Amino acid sequence: MNASAAVSSLTNIRLVNYPSALMSEHTVAPTAPMFAETTMEFPYKHSTGETIGRFLAGLRDQRRIWGQRVAGQGVVVPPLGYSEATGAEGGEWVAVASSGVVTAVAIVHEAVEGLHPARAPFAFVLVKLDGADTALPHVVTGGLERLRIGTRVEAVWKPDGERIGSIRDIAGFRPID
């Protein structure tokens, strides 16, 4: 039995002495790449579940932001329905203020249409709402020159009749300092 027959088929040992001249005899002239533009869609419906459903209904119907008291975490906004630390079930529902403090900010100077939630410039922010112990991610579209960590902001609501039960029922936040 020769050495190459004993080698696993997963190695390239058999190609060591492969005649490279064969490869050059059959080369093909370079061709331009071909493109096919295709749109694929995967429509589906997703149930928000009891916890997020109640949170989104509060935004739509009451213009109110709700959190949930969770053992070891305080008031969590948006509510998860359980403790990320212990897995325990969420507790009582707590209405929090629609204003709070920016805890993180990232200003976007060049938005990608269809990807970003607003036209540039805007900022992604985390807002710790008054009465909450966690921060809500959202956007600020105006007053960016005043926006810093620690800036107080308030929610800007979509008008009645335009709210649909989405986090975007809050159109964004604006500085109030």
* Spatial contact of 122 and 139, defined as CB atoms under 8 Å apart: yes
Summarize the confidence of residues 46-57 as an average pLDDT.
92
Please tell me whether residue 42 adopts helix, strand or coil conformation. Answer: coil
Query: CA torsion 81→95→75→87, rounded to 10°?
Result: -10
Round to the nearest angstrom and report the end-to-end CA distance of the chain: 84
Q: How far is CA 53 from CA 12, 83, 154, 170, in A?
A: 57, 18, 23, 15
- Tokens 């370079």, residue located: 30
DSSP alpha helix (H) spans, 74-148: none
pLDDT band at 66 (very low <50, low <70, confident <90, very high): very high
Instruction: Show the CA angle centred on residue 114, arms to residues 45 and 78, nearest 5°.
Output: 55
| pLDDT, tens digit, 9 for 90 and up, residues 137-174 | 999 999 999 999 999 999 999 999 999 999 999 999 99
Is the per-residue pLDDT at 78 higher than 90?
Answer: yes
Q: What is the pLDDT of residues 85-142, one digit of tens each?
A: 889 999 999 999 999 999 999 999 999 988 888 988 999 999 999 999 999 999 999 9
